[in-house]
């Protein structure tokens, strides 16, 4: 029996690769999946396959391709420090260019065709999903515990597509005051915001100590329903 989801690495531009996961139907709406600071590692690839199984054509770009192509990091000690250093070294103009290139590459895929395209991201990737919503023509965005979004709220005026935010109630990196800043900045916009009281930062990642299964399941259900409503 063939696997329901087919995957491969492909090249967006010279040196710039992305992980593609195709749904069982081999076609569907597009979904850009933005990584955490740990690269397109086994967990992010598994998330790509999870959403592909839900019916989306998922493309996860290698955000650190300029510094450490296809780096895969763990979540503790030296790996965590390296991930933070790689993220700090990223230039905003480069990130914006890569976001635009990834969205364009996904729209050009024959498996997507004329279907809609959304963005999803975790932590650093949540911030990139926010930037994608503010700077590209995507049709929906779902940032999970996007660090630093509250420092980029000047871009809220550029938001046109629907958004769904997911935050941890006990996040040591994103205080609830920052979450409220995001909520207030998006009043009147097509946005919804969910906070998971018992969860910590990274609650969706089953490879981390902060994994919170109940919150992850609820958030995945909400995100999938939202994306299905907005993109199909």
What are 179-209's pLDDT values in tens digits? 999 999 999 999 999 999 999 999 999 999 9
Active-site residue (options: 43, 123, 205, 212): 123
- Mean residue pLDDT of the chain comes to 97
Taking 3-state DSSP, the helix, strand and coil percentages for the chain, each rounded to the nearest 5, stand at 40, 20, 40
pTM of the model: 0.97
What are 43-73's pLDDT values in tens digits? 999 999 999 999 999 999 999 999 999 999 9
pLDDT average, residue stretch 150-155: 96
Q: Are 137 and 143 within 8 A, CB to CB?
A: no
Q: 67: which 2 tokens?
A: 């510094």
The structural domains of the chain, ordered by start, are: 6-231 (3.40.50.1820)
201 is annotated as an active-site residue: yes
Active-site residue (options: 43, 150, 166, 201): 201
What are 214-232's pLDDT values in tens digits? 999 999 999 999 999 999 9
**Strand order, beta sheet including 140-144:** 6-13, 16-22, 57-61, 30-34, 117-122, 140-144, 163-168, 191-196
The set of long-range contacts for 183-192, using a CB threshold of 8 Å and a minimum separation of 24, is 185/153, 185/156, 186/156, 186/159, 189/156, 189/159, 189/163, 190/161, 190/162, 190/163, 191/159, 191/162, 191/163, 191/164, 191/165, 192/163, 192/164, 192/165, 192/226
123 is annotated as an active-site residue: yes
94 is annotated as an active-site residue: no
What are 106-135's pLDDT values in tens digits? 999 999 999 999 999 999 999 999 999 999
CA dist., res. 136 & res. 22, Å (int): 23
Active-site residue (options: 43, 62, 171, 212): 171
Query: pLDDT value at position 3?
Result: 79
């Amino acid at each position: 029996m063939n696997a329901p989801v087919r995957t491969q690495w492909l090249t967006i531009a010279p040196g710039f690769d992305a992980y593609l996961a195709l749904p069982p139907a081999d076609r569907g709406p597009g979904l850009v999946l933005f990584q955490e600071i740990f690269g397109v590692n086994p967990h992010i690839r598994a998330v790509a396959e999870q959403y592909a199984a839900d019916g989306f054509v998922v493309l996860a770009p290698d955000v650190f391709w300029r510094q450490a192509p296809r780096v895969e990091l763990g979540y503790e000690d030296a790996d965590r420090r390296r991930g933070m250093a790689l993220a700090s070294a990223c230039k905003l103009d480069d990130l914006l260019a890569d976001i635009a290139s990834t969205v364009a590459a996904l729209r050009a895929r024959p498996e997507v065709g004329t279907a809609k395209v959304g963005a999803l991201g975790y932590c650093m990737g949540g911030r990139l999903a926010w930037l994608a919503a503010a700077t590209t023509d995507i049709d929906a965005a779902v940032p999970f515990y996007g660090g630093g979004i509250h420092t980029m709220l000047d871009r809220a005026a550029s938001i046109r597509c629907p958004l769904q935010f997911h935050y941890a109630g006990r996040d040591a990196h994103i205080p609830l005051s920052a979450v409220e800043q995001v909520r207030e900045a998006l009043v009147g916009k097509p946005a919804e915001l969910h906070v998971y009281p018992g969860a910590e930062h990274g609650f969706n990642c089953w490879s981390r100590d902060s994994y919170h299964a109940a919150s992850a399941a609820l958030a995945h259900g909400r995100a999938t329903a939202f994306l299905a409503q907005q993109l199909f």
